[in-house]
Structure 1
Amino acid sequence: MKRRHVLFAGTSALLLPRAMAHHGWGSFDESQPIYLEGVVKQVTWVNPHATLVIEMPANAALPADLASRKLPAQERAVDAAAILSKTRAAAKRGEWTVELAPLNRMQAWQVPETKVGERVALIGYTYANEQGPQRLRAEYLFAGGQAYGLRSLPVRG
């Protein structure tokens, strides 16, 4: 019996830091969605999340048509209109690390693997008042003329 407890405690100790890093969404401010647009510099298309590094240029701005863009319907109730109306351009320029969805969700949305050099746009969340590292948890991805919702699965039917 003691051996099981030791084994469980040891395994838990090894996995806890990874679980905390993976599920640390609480530090992202979902009341302030931001818009990023830039060129992909690096792609990591593996679980637990596909990740991009993009270069946001100094002249990046919020597109005039953003509020009228059609966003995909999602199974989980996500108020796309409210997100679009609150979205502002990111204040920080330069290199951003972007966390996309897990690969099974990317496959469900039929998102083609992003390539280095491709131009993408994203709406998502970062730290309150953009304090901290330039990291975005993506809510929507705009790539190849398509819009993809990344929080939940696509509505079929």
Structure 2
Amino acid sequence: MRTLAVAVVALGLLAPAAGFAHHGWSSYDAEKVIKVTAPLSDVAWRNPHGSAKVDYQKRTWTVVLAPVARMEGRGLTEAMLTSGKPVTLEGYPRRDGTPEMRIERVTVQGKTVELR
């Protein structure tokens, strides 16, 4: 019983830290909007959020999308974000210089979808 109590307490302490680590949006600079139109590569339609790669400023950037249910609920489908298809991405870069951007909106096939 004591082992179970210790495990429950440990889980209770770790769960908020895990949630904060995943949703650390403060690591992105909302004052510096990036807008790029280019083909995507390495598209991953998965949870906790989708992702892709895009070439921007002579670097390959990781693109952090929204959760699949949110994208689909707003009309963005997996078929719309396939590798090699050009899209327009608008989002924010990481503050630490890592080539990664958090995407706020995607425009593909003439349709703009708000992700946040």
TM-score by length of 1: 0.64
RMSD after superposition: 2.1
Higher relative contact order (CA 8 A, sep 6+): 1
Q: Is residue 2:47 matched to residue 1:47?
A: yes
Cα distance in 1 for residues equivalent to 2:35 and 2:58: 11
Q: Which runs of 5+ in 2 are unaligned?
A: none
* Counterpart in the other structure of 1:105: 70
Q: Residue by residue, what CA displacement relative to the aligned partner does 1:112-136 show, whole Å, maximum 9, x if unpaired? A: 21111111111101124xx421101
Q: Distance in 2 between matches of 1:103 and 1:112?
A: 9
Give the number of the structure whose residues are more often strand, by fraction. 2
The offset of 1:21, in angstroms, is 3.2
For 2:99, the aligned partner's letter is Q
Gaps of 5+ in 1: 57-91, 152-157
The share of aligned pairs that are identical, in percent, is 32
Superposed displacement of residue 18, structure 1:
4.2
Give the ranges of 4+ consecutive aligned residues of structure 1 lying more than 4 Å apart after TM superposition: 12-18
Structure-1 residue corresponding to 2:33: 33
